[in-house]
Chains A and B, each alone.
Chain A
Amino acid sequence: MNAMNHSEFRQDIAPGETLLAVDNVTLRFGGVKAITDVSFDIRKGEVRAIIGPNGAGKTSMLNVINGFYHPQEGRITYRGQTRSKMRPHVAASQGIARTFQNVALFKGMTTLDNIMVGRTLKMRTPFFWHLFRHGPAMREEIEHRKFVEEIIDFLEIEHIRKVPVGKLPYGLQKRVELGRALAMQPELLLLDEPMAGMNLEEKEDMCRFILDTKEQYGTTIALIEHDMGVVMDLSDRVVVLEYGQKIADGTPDEVKKNQKVIDAYLGVAH
């Protein structure tokens, strides 16, 4: 795991400091408010869970963070830099990676190629060398292949290395997707329901990978998940959304006791 210990991004922000801050963000689609005046922060090195009932605006929040949606109001500060609008590929180049709720892999490509795509931003050989697939182009391929093999090793997916991902079972696809995000050596990893639709064993595996990612690469993780057991065990802090508004924010224990959260999940008698 040598190559992974010196990630390029990590110099400026010390663990525990704010990596990303969302300030008073409001997102509207026409007349519908998906997110209303939400503020929270993500500190470096923590696992931050975003939970809430269906339609609470969790995925929209992730889309705002990595630039798919542009909020009408509010600011996002990432690594000390405030921005209002940004394109997803810029977010990627600044170290934000993400997985999707419904697997968004490149179905026609093999596991290896999928994860190699995650290395695209780190590859710089000019077009000329690619004509021959020799010299610098090939050296670069091999260097990144080594890195990708480490991720494959880490996620225990050696046996499906050359299988087109469209043929893989769902649980493995989720794992490949995590691998593809990890290949970007992200500073901030956004996981949108990484455990949806998995059985217990697969969930346990995934939890282990998430914790290992945090340990080994020092990646900061923002996580959307519906399995409360997983959320409470994995995360350092939890933010709860309901109808696009923030109703609670704190450690898992604080959130668990919060009356608003209990009401949101269980409903209140009227």
Chain B
Amino acid sequence: MFYREAGQYKKTYSADMAVFPILQDRIGIGLILLTAAVIIPIFGSNFFISTVMIPFLVFSLAAMGLNIVTGYTGLISLGTGAFMGVGAFACYKLTTYFPNVNIIIWILASGVFSAAIGALFGLPSLRIKGFYLAVATLAAQFFLEWCFVRVPWLFNYNASGAIEVPTRTLFGVAITGANATPTTRYLVLLGIVVLMTWVASNILHGRIGRTFMAVRDMDIAAELMGIRLLPAKLTAFAMSSFYCGVAGACMMFLWYGGGEASDAFNINQSFNILFMVIIGGLGSLIGCFFGAALLNIVPIILKFGLPAIGVPLAGATAEHINHLFVGSLIIFFLIVEPHGLARLWQITKQKLRTWPFPY
């Protein structure tokens, strides 16, 4: 009843082409941003921020990266984890060599390195498609994972073989390392995610996004419209890997605060993010957030929520139930709604628009 576009006339093309053409959507997004930036840091407990919000934002960013190449351009990639790893290690090396440059700049710059690596491993995409491409990207995953463990230069010859996140500050406040509070880390991460989501939305709503989707939907016709397939696919891979790389750097520096790459950036991580994209909705930015939220929150509820209300659940059981749940969700979505939560959301909005008189 309140979600109506009646009376909102578009007088210019730019108003019509806006990302949120409906006023209520703009209000909604404003409220969400307000909640995320003000209410959660003030009222959220440290536990909530560091176990729910920070992982959610990191995964959203990674899912966005994968969605660009898989959802928008139609190229299946299983190298997400590795590309995230490239970002994390690039950031680590950069901040080791240039400790005086602000870490946020290096987190964003580390995406450039993973973009280059991603474009390199995207080269086979011109010749091979579908599952075969997925296998080719698996090669990237295994090769890079091998590098993370076997090339000691990457982790500065640490005895532990792990990334050790140093303390870095912004305006005198520690934002990475052991001294940074969850709230500061969360706010920095939120800033990065909002910025990158805005940029992704800009790119995907314009010519480049249309190029990606044209390649996805009908590559022959796209070529006929003058789109050169190789540059288009490589751009998609580079952009996707850029996002994954930044997500990986955020993961190490703002969430984990250091750790072993073989745990964080392995093939399971790639699959996990692929599931987020499938459940959230292929080819939808908001779907990335839905998917990340669902797959991130369910394990937490199983792990902490159920024992809190008196259902005893051992750690191992929770993990198994989590696997069962994710598996059945994927089957459910593949059968019932291949476009994921994002499509359900769209349908809901469509229904709301005409409610209570659908005819």
Which residues of A does B touch, CB under 8 Å? 66, 68, 87-89, 91-93, 97-98, 100, 104-109, 113, 116-118, 120-121, 123, 125, 127, 130-133, 137-138, 140-142, 145-146, 149, 180, 184
Q: Which residues of B contact A145 (CB under 8 A)?
A: 13, 17
What 9 A-B pairs are tightest by C-beta distance, nearest first? Answer: A92-B226, A106-B217, A133-B202, A121-B226, A104-B221, A88-B223, A142-B13, A145-B13, A117-B214
Distance in angstroms between the alpha carbons of A121 and B224 in the assembled complex: 10
B199-223 CB mask vs A (1 if < 8 Å, else 0) is 1011101111011011011101111
Contact: B216 with A108, CB < 8 Å?
A: yes
> Does B225 touch A at the CB level, under 8 Å?
yes
**How many angstroms between the C-alpha atoms of A149 and B202 in the bound complex?**
22
Residues on B with C-beta less than 8 A from A138 are 14
Select A132's contact among B12, B13, B202, beta carbons within 8 Å. Answer: B202
Q: Is B55 positioned at the interface, with any CB of A under 8 Å from its CB?
A: no
Residues of chain B within 8 A (CB-CB) of A180 are 225
Shortest Cβ gap from A78 to chain B (Å): 15
In the assembled complex, which residues on chain B have CB atoms less than 8 Å from the CB atom of A146? 13
- For B283, list chain A residues within 8 Å (CB): 108
Q: Which residue on A lies nearest to B200, using beta carbons?
A: A131
* Docked CA distance A93–B224 (Å): 9
- Given A104-B220, A105-B218, A138-B14: A184 in contact with B213 (beta carbons within 8 A): no
Which residues of chain A are near B221, meaning CB under 8 Å? 100, 104-106
Tell me whether A88 and B224 are in contact (CB under 8 A).
Answer: yes
Partner of A133, one of B12, B206, B224: B206
| A109 CB contacts on chain B under 8 angstroms | 210, 213-214, 217
CA distance A61 to B243 in the complex (A): 44
**A127 / chain B contacts, CB cutoff of 8 Å:** 208
Q: For residue A142, give the distance in angstroms from its CB to the closest CB of chain B.
A: 5
29 A-B contacts (beta carbon < 8 Å): A91-B224, A92-B224, A92-B226, A100-B221, A105-B218, A106-B218, A106-B221, A109-B210, A109-B214, A116-B210, A117-B210, A117-B211, A117-B227, A120-B207, A120-B210, A120-B226, A121-B226, A123-B207, A130-B206, A130-B208, A133-B201, A133-B202, A133-B205, A133-B206, A137-B207, A140-B207, A141-B206, A141-B207, A184-B225
- Nearest Cβ in chain B — how far from A144, in angstroms? 9
Asked if B26 is at the interface of the complex by the 8 Å CB criterion, the answer is no
Task: Say whether B349 faces chain A, with CB atoms less than 8 Å apart.
Answer: no
Tell me the bound Cα distance from A119 to B142 in angstroms.
Answer: 40
CB distance from A256 to the nearest CB of B (A): 33
The residue in chain A whose Cβ has the minimal distance to the Cβ of B339 is A108
Residues of A within 8 A of B14 (CB): 138, 142
What residues of chain B lie closer than 8 Å to A93, measured between beta carbons?
226
* B1-39, CB < 8 A from A: 12-14, 17
Which B residues are in CB contact (< 8 Å) with A88? 220, 223-224
Question: In whole angstroms, what is the CA distance A5 to B352 when docked?
Answer: 44
Instruction: Tell me, yes or no, whether B129 is within 8 Å of chain A by CB.
Output: no
User: Given A106-B216, A132-B202, A138-B14, list of 7 further CB < 8 A pairs?
Assistant: A88-B224, A97-B224, A106-B222, A117-B222, A120-B214, A141-B13, A142-B12
- Check A121–B206 contact: CB distance below 8 A: no
Whole-angstrom distance between the alpha carbons of A249 and B17 in the complex?
49
A93 to B186, CA, bound (A): 48
Chain A residues with CB under 8 Å of B205's CB are 133
Q: Which residues of A contact B220 (CB under 8 A)?
A: 68, 88, 104
Given A97-B224, A98-B224 in contact, is the A137-B213 Cβ separation under 8 Å?
Answer: no
Known A-B contacts A106-B221, A109-B213, A142-B13; A184 and B226 likewise in contact (beta carbons under 8 Å): yes
CA distance A107 to B14 in the complex (A): 24
Q: Nearest chain-A residue to B206 (Cβ)? A: A130
Q: What separation, in Å, do the CA atoms of A77 and B222 have in the docked complex?
A: 24
What is the distance, in angstroms, from A259's C-beta to the closest C-beta of chain B?
A: 38
**B231 smallest CB distance to A (angstroms):** 10
Whether B206 pairs with A113 at a CB distance below 8 angstroms is no
A200 to B: closest C-beta gap in Å: 28
Nearest Cβ on chain B to A145's Cβ, whole angstroms: 5
B228 CB-CB contact with A under 8 Å: yes
* CB-CB nearest in chain A for B71: A108
Most buried by B among A105, A106, A127: A106
Q: Which residues of chain A are within 8 angstroms of B217 by Cβ–Cβ distance?
A: 105-109
Give CA–CA (A66, B220) in the complex, Å: 12
Q: How far is the CA of A131 from the CA of B224 in the complex (A)?
A: 26
A109 to B218 alpha-carbon distance, docked (Å): 11
Bits for B111-142, please: 1 = Cβ < 8 Å to A, else 0: 00000000000000000000000000000000
> A113: shortest Cβ distance to chain B, in Å?
6
Report yes or no: B207 in contact with A130, Cβ–Cβ below 8 A: yes
- Chain B residues with CB under 8 A of A184: 225-226
Task: Please give, as numbers and ranges, the residues of chain A lying within 8 Å of B223 by CB-CB distance.
Answer: 87-89, 92
CB nearest neighbor in B for A127: B208
How far, in angstroms, from A116 to B208 measured CA to CA in the complex?
11
Identify which of B17, B202, B214 contacts A131 (C-beta below 8 A).
B202
B210 / chain A contacts, CB cutoff of 8 Å: 109, 113, 116-117, 120
Contact (Cβ within 8 A) B208 A92: no
Instruction: Quote the shortest CB–CB distance from B331 to chain A (angstroms).
Output: 23
Q: Check B203–A130 contact: CB distance below 8 A.
A: yes
Q: How far, in whole Å, are A100 and B226 apart by their CA atoms in the complex?
A: 16
Q: Within 8 Å CB of B224, what residues of A?
A: 66, 88-89, 91-92, 97-98
The answer, among B199, B218, B225, for a CB contact under 8 Å with A92, is: B225
CB distance from B343 to the nearest CB of A (A): 11
| B213:A113 contact, CB within 8 angstroms | yes
Q: Are A121 and B216 in contact (CB under 8 A)?
A: no
